[in-house]
Every structure is written in C-alpha cells, then in structure tokens.
Amino acid sequence: MRDARPLVRALVDPVSVDRFDGADWTAVIACARAESLIGGLAHRLEGRYLPDAVADLMADARRSAAQARVHALWEAEMAGRALAGLNIPVILLKGTAYAAAGLDAADGRSIGDLDILVPRTALDRVEEALLTAGWEWVKDNAYDQLYYRRWMHELPPMIHRGRDRMIDVHHTILPPTARPKPDVEALIEDSVALANGLRVLSPPDKIVHAAAHLFADGDLAGGLRNLWDIDRLVRRYDAPAFRDRLAERARLHGLSSHVARALRLARSLYETPVDPHLAGRERLGDGLFERRLLARDGWGRECSKLLRFSFYVRSHWIRMPPLLLARHLWNKARA
C-alpha cells in the first residue's frame, strides 16, 4: 500500500473492503491509526460481515472512541462550570463540539484537547478563572507566553493538574497574522446554545472553521481526518438553502477560497455532495494537496517527504509575514 487511497476508499465505499486479505487489512489498519481515522472507519464498517480479527479490532476502536467522547464531554462540562460565573458565551470547537451537538462527525472520532472560543474582551477573566479552577500553563517560559499572546489566536495551552487534560482557549479561529480575517463577532453572535448552556458554532460556521483549520492553520498533518470531518458536516447539513448560507458565511469570513478548496478535495476523495458553484473550478494546486493528504503508507509511515516538507514551509509562510517568521525562527533557534 503506497498511499492512503485504500483507506479513503474503505471510508467512502465499505463494500471495497470485501476483497481485502489479511495483509490489506493490516496495512489499512496501521494507516487508519496513523491518520486518527480508525474510529471513523470502525463506525463505517459497523454491521458489515468482517473477518473475526477485524471485527474484534473495530469493536475495540468503537468502544475506545465512545469512552473518549465521555471524557471529552466531561472536560467540556468542567470548563463550563469553571467559567459559569463570568456570564460570557463559551463556544466549543472541533471534536468536542461535534460530540456535544450529537453530530455524526463525532462518530468514532478521537478527541484530544478541549478547544473553546471566548470573546477576546473576556480573555483575562477566562484565564484567571481557569487558573483558579486547577488548570496550569504547559509552557511557562517568557518567550512562549509572549509569542502566543502577541501573535496567536489562542492562549498558550493549559493543562488541568488533576485530570491531565489540555485546554486551548481561542479568541478567534486564525492567527491574527494570517491573511484572512474571520469575523469573530459574527461567529459568536450566530453560535447556537446547547441544553447545558455551552455553545457551538452555527452549522455553516462549523464548516468554515474546519476549512480554515485544515488549510490556513498548519501543515496538513492529520488533514485526512479533518477533511473527513468536513465530509460528515456537509452531508449532515446539505440542502439548497444551506448551500447559500455556507457561501455567504465563507465570504463574510474571507475564507471563500479555503472553503472552495476543502469542498473540491472532499468531493474528489470522499465523494462529498458539494455545491459545484461554491467549489468552483479545479485549481492547479489541488493535485498537490491531494497527494499530501494521502502521503501515508501501509506501515503507517509518512511518505513523500519532500512534499510534506514543502507544506510545512507553507504553513509558516501563510501564518506569518516574512520578517516576523524570520524573527520567530531566530528566537526558536536560540531557545
């Protein structure tokens, strides 16, 4: 198995696994683990006839994801309680949000850190409330603290000393130095309240955020799973009126081209039903993105090293103007 294509096929079309032999399964399982898609795969294959060894392993993956979901929702509840006195909107992001909102994007999804979005004006009070409630800084050196506060869209990561779980407190969804400038007031304004008082982004904003996270905030590590999130979200909400709202929100946040590329890649890899108008015409780079997303072999190893490296360079380039980047790398090298 030279790239992750068989895994992608198995997710899209579970019938394709019927011709797998033991070696094919072993390869797809290793690849799925490396891409954090084993739980998603296990959900897609639920109820299918599988070899006993595979059925057991998939049941393990589903059980493990179900437990991860309990942990993630409990962590959200704990953060919600710590911040309850501030009377501010606390918006769950990414995996925790999908789980809390009962979306099938959360089925089998691993959930690591708790990501929340709060109004920037409340940031100091949020920080203080979390520190009081048992969270502490992961990196407490002056440069990291300064770097995050000046240049990032989130506070430096904190970890709860009793539960050993990390929280990322965002005040917007992209670094302020990135070229797109999402309208964070609109994100908060349109967010949707859950029964427990916590909030999640509106459906189109969830997709816009997922696309921003995929392309504008990193080197596409874990991109296959992030694109799978987008596929699940689009399939969940897709309807003519929704397509218009998605186009409108993408434009509002200055992320139309990101959303368009996400939709094109999702359509190409996961056969996602997308708005052809919003997805737009195929662009030159799409093939490179696709190859980068698939760069994982049947031993779970990263392949296409040069392509991976160029995306790593790109991730810094798009997040920081050149002079700032030089300064950051200089400081990192000295540390």
Partner 1 sequence: MKHAISLRIGPFGFRVGSAWPEPIIALAHLYHGYPAPHDRVADFSVRLEPERPWRRWLRPSVAIRGDFMLSDAAPMALAHGLLAAEMGMNLQMALGQRRYLLLHAATVERDGRALLLTGESGAGKSTLAALLGEHGWRLMGDEFALLDLDRGLFHSFPRAISLKNGAIALMEAQVPASRFGPRLESTPKGAIRHLRPGDGAIADMDKPARPAMILFPRFGFERAVRPVLGAEAFVRLTQASTNYVALGEPGFMALTGLVGQAPARAIDYPDGESAIALIEQLWAELKR
Residue 101 C-beta-side C-alpha neighbours within 13 Å: 23
Neighbours of 182 (CB within 10 A): 22
Question: What is the contact mask toward partner 1 in residues 20 to 59, using x (rule: CB under 8 A)?
Answer: -xxx-xx--xx--xx----------------xxxx-xx--
Tell me how far apart the alpha carbons of residues 296 and 3 are, in angstroms, rounded to a whole number: 5
Closest CB to partner 1 among residues 67, 141: 67
- Binding status of residue 129 toward partner 1 by CB under 8 A: no
What are the residue ranges of helices labelled H in 240-304? 240-252, 256-270, 276-279, 286-293
**b/e map 129-150, b = 16+ CB within 10 Å:** bbeeeebebeeeeeebeebbee
Smallest gap from residue 91 Cβ to partner 1 (A) = 26
Q: Shortest gap between Cβ of 242 and partner 1 (angstroms)?
A: 36
Asked if 138 interacts with partner 1 (CB under 8 A), we say: no
- Residue 14's Cβ-count burial label (10 Å; 0-12, 13-18, 19+) is middle
Is the Cβ of residue 32 or residue 320 nearer to partner 1 in the bound state? 32
Among 2, 63, 150, 327, indicate the residue that binds partner 1 (CB under 8 A). Answer: 63
Task: Say whether residue 300 binds partner 1 (CB under 8 A).
Answer: yes
Which of 238, 206, 245, 6 is CA-nearest to residue 106?
A: 206
How is residue 313 written in tokens?
């360079």
Q: Which stretch binds partner 1 (CB under 8 A): 208-216, 241-249, 298-306, 324-332?
A: 298-306
Choices 19-27, 117-125, 132-140, 226-234 (CB under 8 A): range interacting with partner 1: 19-27
Count of residues binding partner 1 (CB under 8 A)? 24
Q: Does 67 bind partner 1 (CB under 8 A)?
A: yes
Least distance between partner 1 and beta carbon 22 (Å)? 3
CA dihedral 308, 311, 312, 313 (to 10 degrees): 130
**Tokens encoding 155:** 């506070």
The binding site for partner 1 (CB under 8 A) comprises 21-23, 25-26, 29-30, 33-34, 51-54, 56-57, 60, 63-64, 67, 70-71, 299-301
